[in-house]
Amino acid sequence: MHTLHHRSCILVCRVWREARDRIVGFPGRYHAWDIPHQSWLYNSNYSCELSMVLTGAAFFHKYYAYLYSYVMPQAIRDMVDEYINCEDIAMNFLVSHITRKPPIK
């Protein structure tokens, strides 16, 4: 489990103020298509490669929460409810789809 420190929260907030259209947070995660195995690879190692950040320690504009709740297809929200812990994947994809930008760790 990642320990959340006050100074880390302050830093994330300051970074987010400079990039309010992005999700800014930690820890980061990386996903990619694994060609040899023909499946998705999901890496939670602490590295510089990332394609999403976990939403438990992330800053994002409240507009994205609105889009997530009222615009994102119901089928995606139903899947999040079924699997319980995939909201970070859905939120990262939503924001990246709209902005065409990756999150910031």
The domain segmentation of the chain, as residue ranges, is 6-99
The residues, any chain, with a CB within 8 Å of residue 30's CB and separated by 6 or more, are: 41, 42, 43, 45, 47, 49, 50, 51, 52
Q: What is the pLDDT along the chain (105 residues), one digit of tens a residue?
A: 567 788 988 999 999 999 999 999 988 888 888 899 999 888 777 667 788 898 988 999 999 999 999 999 999 999 999 998 889 999 999 999 999 999 998
What confidence score (pLDDT) does residue 47 get? 64
Amino acid at position 20, single letter = R
Closest CA to 65 of 83, 84, 90: 90
> Active-site residue 21, yes or no?
no
Task: Indicate the CATH number of 6-99 among 3.90.550.10, 3.40.920.10, 3.40.250.10, 2.40.50.1070.
Answer: 3.90.550.10
Catalytic option among 21, 34, 81, 88: 88
